[in-house]
Amino acid sequence: MSNSKWIWHFGDFEIYHTSLQNMRREQFGVQSYLPLWRTGQPHSMVKLYKKATIDTSEEIKCHANCLGNVEVRHNGKATKYNLDTKITLEPGENMVIVSLQKMGGIPSVIVFGNEFASNETWLCASYSQTEDDLPCGCNEHYTRIDDDVEKFFFVYDRIYPISRKTYENGTLFDFGKETYGLIHIDNISPNVQKKILIKYGESEEEALADKSIVYIFDYIDLSQNSITFKKRAFRYIFIEDDKGISYDISCDYEHLDIKNKAMFRCEDEKINKVYDACEYTLLLNMREGFLDGIKRDGWLWSGDAYQSYYVNYYSFFDVDTVKRTIIGLRGNDPIGQNINTIPDYSMYWICSIYDYYFHTGDYDFIKSIWPRIVTMLKFLESHCDNNGFYIKHSSDWVFIDWADTAKLGIVSALQMLFAHTYEQIAKIAEVLDIDNNIYLSKAENLKQKINDIYWDEKQGAFIDSIKNNTRDHIVTRHANIFAILFNLTSEDRQKSIYKNVIYNPNIAPITTPYFEFFELDALGKMGDLSYMTDMLNSYWGKMIELGATTIWEQFDPTKKGIEHYEMYGSQFGCSLCHAWGANPIYLIGRYILGVAPTSAGYKTFIIKPNKACFKDVCGRVPLPNGYVDIKIKDNEVKIISTCEGGTVEINDKKYVLKANKQMTFEI
| The three-state (H, E, C) secondary structure of 501-548, written as one string | HHCCCCCCCCCCHHHHHHHHHHHHHCCCCHHHHHHHHHHHHHHHHCCC
- Do the Cβ atoms of 69 and 45 come closer than 8 Å? no
Determine the Cα–Cα distance for residues 363 and 156; give it in Å rounded to an integer.
33
pLDDT band (50, 70, 90) for residue 131: low
pLDDT (average), residues 416-423: 98
Count CA atoms closer than 13 A to 133's CA, side-chain side: 2
- pLDDT the model gives residue 76: 92
Q: Report the predicted TM-score, pTM, of the whole model to 2 decimal places.
A: 0.96
Q: Residue 1, exposed/middle/buried by CB under 10 A (0-12, 13-18, 19+)?
A: exposed
Residues 322 and 359 sit within 8 Å (Cβ to Cβ):
no
Of residues 393 and 597, more confidence is placed in 597
Q: Which residues pair with 251 in a beta bridge?
A: 159, 183
Tens digit of each residue's pLDDT (9 = 90 or more) over 627-666: 999 999 988 999 999 999 999 999 999 999 999 999 999 9
Question: C-alpha distances in angstroms, 487 versus 159, 303, 420, 431?
Answer: 48, 20, 9, 22
Is the pLDDT reported for residue 229 higher than 70? Answer: yes
Taking the alpha carbons of 406, 407, 411, 413 in that order, is the dihedral positive or negative?
Answer: positive
171 vs 177: CA distance, rounded Å: 18
pLDDT value at residue 405: 80
- pLDDT tier at 263, thresholds 50, 70, 90: very high
Cα separation, 116 vs 552, in Å, equals 50
Q: Nearest 5°: CA angle at 570, between 565 and 512?
A: 50
Distance in angstroms (rounded) separating the CA atoms of residues 53 and 116: 10
CA 640, CA 646: separation in Å to the nearest integer? 10
- Is residue 408 very low, low, confident or very high in pLDDT (cuts 50, 70, 90)? confident
> What is the DSSP secondary structure assignment for residue 174, as one 8-state letter?
E
Closest CA to 190 of 237, 226, 147: 226
In sequence order, what are the beta bridge partners of 422? none
CA angle at residue 652 from 594 to 592, to 5 degrees? Answer: 20
Q: What does the pLDDT look like over 145-157, one tens digit per residue? A: 999 999 999 999 9
Give the chain's end-to-end CA distance (angstroms, integer).
Answer: 57
Mean pLDDT of 96-103: 96
Query: How do residues 520-571 score in pLDDT, each as one tens digit?
Result: 999 999 889 988 999 999 999 999 999 999 999 999 989 999 999 999 999 9
Give the separation between CA 357 and CA 371, rounded to whole angstroms.
Answer: 16
DSSP symbols for 238-260: EEES-TT---EEEEEEEE-S---
CB 47 within 8 A of CB 125: yes
* pLDDT surpasses 70 at 182: yes
Q: Would the pLDDT of 601 be above 90?
A: yes
Q: What percent of the chain has pLDDT over 90?
A: 88
Residues 180, 253: contact at Cβ < 8 Å? yes
Question: How is residue 340 annotated by DSSP?
Answer: G
Res 1 pLDDT > 50: no
Strand partners, 580: none
CA angle at 405 for the pair 400 and 411, rounded to the nearest 5°: 65
Residue 261 has a CB neighbour count (10 Å cut-off) of: 16
Q: Given pLDDT bands bounded at 50, 70 and 90, which one contains residue 2?
A: low
Strand partners, 195: 221
Give the pLDDT confidence of 27-68 residue by residue, as tens digits: 998 888 889 898 889 999 999 999 999 999 999 999 999 999
Residue at 351: amino acid letter: C
